[in-house]
Amino acid sequence: MDGGAAMRGAWSFAWLFPLAACAGPQSPLAPAGLQAEWQHWLLMLMFWVCGIVYALVMALLGASIWRGRRRLTGTPETSPDDRRLSKGLGLWAGMIVAGLTILILGSFVVERELANERKREALVVRVTAQQWWWRIQYRDPAGTGWIETANELHLPAGRTARIELGSVDVIHSFWVPNVAGKMDVIPGRANAIDVTPHRLGWFRGQCAEFCGAQHAHMAFDVKVDTPAEFAAWLATQASPATPPAGAAMVVTNGPCASCHTIRGTAARGRAGPDLTHVGGRRSVAAGTLPMSRGALQGWIAQPQALKPGTLMPAVALTGAQIDATAAYLESRK
Ligand code: HEC
Ligand SMILES: [Cu+2]
């Protein structure tokens, strides 16, 4: 196949591209939660009502152009029939009123359902956005404190979670399209969004408000667990780490510790993500790389090359220290 044919081949499939967004882990068209399902229902209602009106307008436009052309080519003029015209206009106005009424009733029903959902007793999760990652905190079921993690949100299926949103720097936006709509995250303002997921599996959240150079690398993984899986995961997150030994000790005694917390060790920094169970996460640096030992090595050696502008500086370490640190962090499941 020559280049031109290949190009034409590719273009003939181009119409499929919009459909690629219809399924998958980051799509409002594949709802996995109650709120997303209602919003999807409303979207479809709007699509069909507006789509039918659009098709009718186009059909009438086509018909009138066709009639106009016939008139130009000399077919004898038929005198406009006033009664038919006013009947048609009356019908048209009636359809517009009916369509708008359906849309108003639809959005009313959805608003009411979402509000009813809000009254349920909710699991409180605090999510704090910052350039360019997500601090995530759960209330400790065993005590009064908070259990902290980052960049990976676990939710129990069938239960409403109230995500309390805060920002420490600029405006971000919390968006997990499979589960619910968007909510802005605004410094100095307490926003919250309720989500009631019911389909198990992995989904993807993304910051949806431009927040600086690495806005696109401000994603997070979302896992909808069974209630038992969720309880086990939360218990793991609550447990402290065993401190590292040998060359990996730089992570708890060196500069890393001034920015990162590893519970159970001397590392108590607050500027960066909690690393106590970083090895159990699915990705590194807010969705920048899939989790692996190599990704951790690369990230520790050259954060500025992987995520230019990120607030984590490159720390001067030896190769052996980087390898040992990556191995230790990877083992922190
Ligand atoms: C000046 C503060 C600072 C220092 C020093 C620092 N980090 Fe970070 N680190 C951050 C910030 C901020 C992030 C989040 C970056 C992002 O995603 O944009 C981060 C992210 C990370 C992540 C990814 C965490 C995740 O949830 O995916 C790892 C792993 C990490 N740092 C390890 C280290 C190690 C090891 C050192 C020492 C060699 C270190 N950091 C030194 C601030 C720092
Ligand atoms: Cu952001």
109-151 per-position pLDDT tens digit: 999 999 988 888 889 999 999 999 999 999 988 878 999 999 9
Kindly state whether residues 156 and 42 are assigned to the same domain: yes
Please check whether residues 138 and 270 belong to one and the same domain: no
Residue 71: predicted pLDDT: 72
- Do 219 and 290 fall within a single domain? no
Q: What is the 308 CA–ligand 1 centroid distance (Å)?
A: 13
Query: Does residue 107 sit in the same domain as residue 38?
Result: yes
The model's pLDDT over 3-13, given as tens digits with 9 standing for 90+, comes to 556 566 666 66
User: What's the pLDDT at 305?
Assistant: 96
Say which amino acid occupies 74: G
Residue 191 lies in a domain: yes
**pLDDT class of 25 with cuts at 50, 70, 90:** very high
pLDDT by residue (tens digit) across 57-113? 999 999 989 888 877 776 555 556 778 888 889 999 999 999 999 999 999 999 999
- Quick one: 162 exposed, middle or buried, by C-beta within 10 A (0-12, 13-18, 19+)? middle
Q: What is the pTM of this model?
A: 0.88
Q: Are 124 and 188 contained in the same domain?
A: yes
> For residue 207, how far is its CA from the centre of ligand 1 (angstroms)?
19
Q: Give the pair of three-digit tokens for residue 215.
A: 């806005």
Structural domain that includes position 47: 24-68+84-227
What is the percentage of the chain residues whose pLDDT exceeds 90? 80
Return the number of other C-beta atoms located less than 10 Å from residue 202's C-beta.
Answer: 12
Whose CA is closest to atom 37 on ligand 1?
A: 256
Question: How confident is the model over 255-283, as a mean pLDDT?
Answer: 96
**Whether the Cβ atoms of residue 154 and residue 145 lie closer than 8 Å to each other:** no
State the pLDDT at residue 11: 65
Between 289 and 74, the higher pLDDT residue: 289
Predicted pLDDT at 78: 58
44-55 mean pLDDT: 95
Is 280 found in the same domain as 172?
no
- Whether 103 maps to a domain, the answer reads yes
Q: How many whole angstroms from its chain centre is CA 278?
A: 21
Q: Does residue 191 sit in the same domain as residue 129? A: yes
CATH number of the domain at 296, please. Answer: 2.60.40.420
- Give the nearest ligand 1 atom to 152 CA: 26
**Among the bound ligands, the one closest to the CA of 132:** 1
User: CA 307, CA 238: separation in Å to the nearest integer?
Assistant: 29
Q: Amino acid letter at 27?
A: S
Position with higher pLDDT, 121 vs 266: 266
Say which residue the tokens 């459909």 belong to: 19
Q: From the CA of 49, how far away is ligand 2's center (Å)?
A: 35
In this structure, the residue with its CA closest to atom 5 of ligand 1 is 256
Ligand 1 contacts (CB < 6 A) are 132-133, 150-151, 214, 251, 255-256, 258-260, 271-273, 275, 278, 281, 284-286, 296, 299-300, 307, 310-313, 315, 317, 325, 329
pLDDT at residue 120, as a whole number:
80
Residue whose C-alpha is closest to residue 317's, from 250, 257, 260: 250
Do residues 97 and 217 both lie within one domain? yes
- pLDDT tens for 148-206 read 999 999 999 999 999 999 999 999 999 999 999 999 999 999 999 999 999 999 999 99
284 C-alpha vs ligand 2 centroid, how far in Å?
A: 16
Closest protein CA for atom 24 of ligand 1: 285
The pLDDT score that the predictor gives to residue 79 is: 59
In b/e form, how buried is each residue of 41-78, taking b as 16+ CB within 10 angstroms? ebeebeeebeeeeeeeeeeeeeeeeeeeeeeeeeeeee
Same domain, 111 and 210: yes
Torsion, Cα 243 246 252 255, to 10 degrees, reads -170
The residue-averaged pLDDT of 223-251 equals 95
Q: Is residue 232 part of a domain?
A: no
Q: Are residues 209 and 153 in the same domain?
A: yes
160 or 1, which is more confident? 160
Using the predicted structure, report yes or no on whether residue 318 has a pLDDT greater than 50: yes
Residue 153, domain member (yes or no): yes
